[in-house]
Amino acid sequence: MSTYIGIDVGGTNLKAGLVSEDGALLATKKMPLGVWESAEVFAKTLVRLARELLAEYGMSEDSIEAIGVGIPGLVDSAKGIINYTPNIPMREVPITALMQREWDIPIYLGNDANCAALGEYYAGAGRGARSLIVVTLGTGIGSGIVVGGAIHEGFNGAGGEAGHMAIVLGGELCNCGRRGCWERYASATALVRLTKRVMDENPQSLMWKLCGEGEKFHVSGKTAFAAARKGDAAAQAACDEYLDYLAAGVANLVNILQPEMIAIGGGVSNEEDASLLLPLRERVAEVDMARNGAKERTRIVKAQLGNDAGIIGAALLYRSAKMKEERDGVV
Ligand SMILES: [Zn+2]
């Protein structure tokens, strides 16, 4: 069976994984991103990480078919260029060519959220589905769309950004510069902010007790859900408000694209089904246009691969490129 390397570039760390063609993660290695020097040094670091991973696993370079790299930013996957990264100073960097100077091997490039979606499609929650959208609830909302085995990234690579659809016109200001973006209301960060607001309005709420005391006092994305399960009315109101926002965006995705499946990932998705998934499905079902007659509905499920989705999807970018080539005649 052929083997591939996937590299997930994060804000502070690089993570590489050895991945089989069916998406099994065989080994991983982590490395700090380090102080930024130049694109050339960055490319060399990525190749060094891949080589060290191989050496630790006892594999030779010629047993690797391709490398895939997931970037937190805007990429031109066809040209192998990183156009823009908000947290790393890279503009118009021909990363594929720079890496191939060090190691002459096919190298594929993708956006990190799109890689996570691709990983879930081939090796996680989306196995067997023809179309999948992955929504990851974290600091922001990451999302990726996969149709027929290929990432849908838009004609210019900037598509699939569901976190930045406005759900409240004139609403809260987002990091992207727009107001009312979905991630300002339904990310894990937004849930914590909402929880704190409801706690301030309800000094008697059980949520205060669940947050600990003194230096251990800590409001998290779990606080409202945990207190709601114990019957706290204010916490239930916070959860309901959060679920309304989450469902608004999911329902928009369903009604525009009617994907076979939507997988929800990120820490918030670990809540019990009765707290998150079931009420989310109920809310979406009420407004799903398919309720007016279509026999089949979009399935809303939990993502399965956790933080590994990005590495696995990066390693499988070659499959997305191949499917696109077969479909469109271009890479
Ligand atoms: Zn935004």
78-123, pLDDT tens digit by residue? Answer: 999 999 998 888 999 999 999 999 999 999 999 999 999 999 999 9
Characterise 319 by phi-psi region: left (phi > 0), alpha (psi -120 to 50), beta (else).
Answer: alpha
Ligand 1 centroid vs 320 CA: distance in angstroms?
Answer: 27
Residue 304's pLDDT band (boundaries 50, 70, 90)? very high
Ligand 1 centroid vs 172 CA: distance in angstroms?
Answer: 9
Question: Which residues have CB less than 5 Å away from ligand 1 (the ion)?
Answer: 164, 174, 176, 178, 181
Q: State how far the alpha carbon of 217 is from the alpha carbons of 83, 210, 220, in Å.
A: 41, 9, 10
Ligand 1 centroid vs 79 CA: distance in angstroms?
Answer: 26
Per-residue model confidence (pLDDT) at position 1: 79
35-80, pLDDT tens digit by residue? Answer: 999 999 999 999 999 999 999 999 999 999 999 999 999 999 999 9
* Integer-rounded Cα radius of gyration of the chain: 21
Ligand 1 centroid vs 255 CA: distance in angstroms?
Answer: 20
Per-residue model confidence (pLDDT) at position 330: 60
Per-residue model confidence (pLDDT) at position 295: 85
pLDDT at 179 over 70: yes
Ligand 1 centroid vs 174 CA: distance in angstroms?
Answer: 5
If you average pLDDT over residues 307-328, what whole number do you get?
Answer: 95
Ligand 1 centroid vs 300 CA: distance in angstroms?
Answer: 23
Ligand 1 centroid vs 251 CA: distance in angstroms?
Answer: 18
Residue-range domain boundaries for the chain: 3-119+308-328, 128-303
Look up the CATH number of domain 128-303.
3.30.420.40
Q: What percent of the chain has pLDDT over 90?
A: 92
Cβ contacts of 5 within 8 Å, gap of 6 or more:
16, 17, 18, 19, 50, 53, 54, 64, 66, 67, 68, 315
Are 31 and 45 in contact by the 8 Å Cβ rule? The answer is yes
Look up the CATH number of domain 3-119+308-328.
3.30.420.40
Ligand 1 centroid vs 205 CA: distance in angstroms?
Answer: 32
pLDDT at 173 over 60: yes
182-217, pLDDT tens digit by residue? Answer: 999 999 999 999 999 999 999 999 999 999 999 999
Ligand 1 centroid vs 44 CA: distance in angstroms?
Answer: 33
Burial of 46 (0-12, 13-18, 19+ CB in 10 A): buried
Ligand 1 centroid vs 152 CA: distance in angstroms?
Answer: 19
Ligand 1 centroid vs 183 CA: distance in angstroms?
Answer: 7
Ligand 1 centroid vs 64 CA: distance in angstroms?
Answer: 38
| Structure-derived torsion over alpha carbons of residues 79, 84, 90, 92, reported in degrees to the nearest 10 | 40
Residue 92 and residue 112: Cα distance in Å, rounded?
17
Ligand 1 centroid vs 97 CA: distance in angstroms?
Answer: 31
Q: How many CA atoms lie within 13 A of 248 on its CB side?
A: 20
Ligand 1 centroid vs 175 CA: distance in angstroms?
Answer: 6
Ligand 1 centroid vs 124 CA: distance in angstroms?
Answer: 28
Residue 272's pLDDT band (boundaries 50, 70, 90)? very high
How high does pLDDT run on average in the chain? 96
Ligand 1 centroid vs 187 CA: distance in angstroms?
Answer: 11
Ligand 1 centroid vs 113 CA: distance in angstroms?
Answer: 15
Q: What percent of the chain has pLDDT over 70?
A: 99
Residue 237 and residue 66: Cα distance in Å, rounded?
49
Torsion sign (Cα): 233, 236, 242, 247:
negative
If you average pLDDT over residues 226-236, what whole number do you get?
Answer: 98
Ligand 1 centroid vs 216 CA: distance in angstroms?
Answer: 32
Ligand 1 centroid vs 176 CA: distance in angstroms?
Answer: 4
Ligand 1 centroid vs 101 CA: distance in angstroms?
Answer: 36
Ligand 1 centroid vs 262 CA: distance in angstroms?
Answer: 21
Ligand 1 centroid vs 173 CA: distance in angstroms?
Answer: 8
Q: Same CATH fold, 128-303 and 3-119+308-328?
A: yes
Per-residue model confidence (pLDDT) at position 329: 77
Torsion sign (Cα): 47, 53, 56, 59:
negative
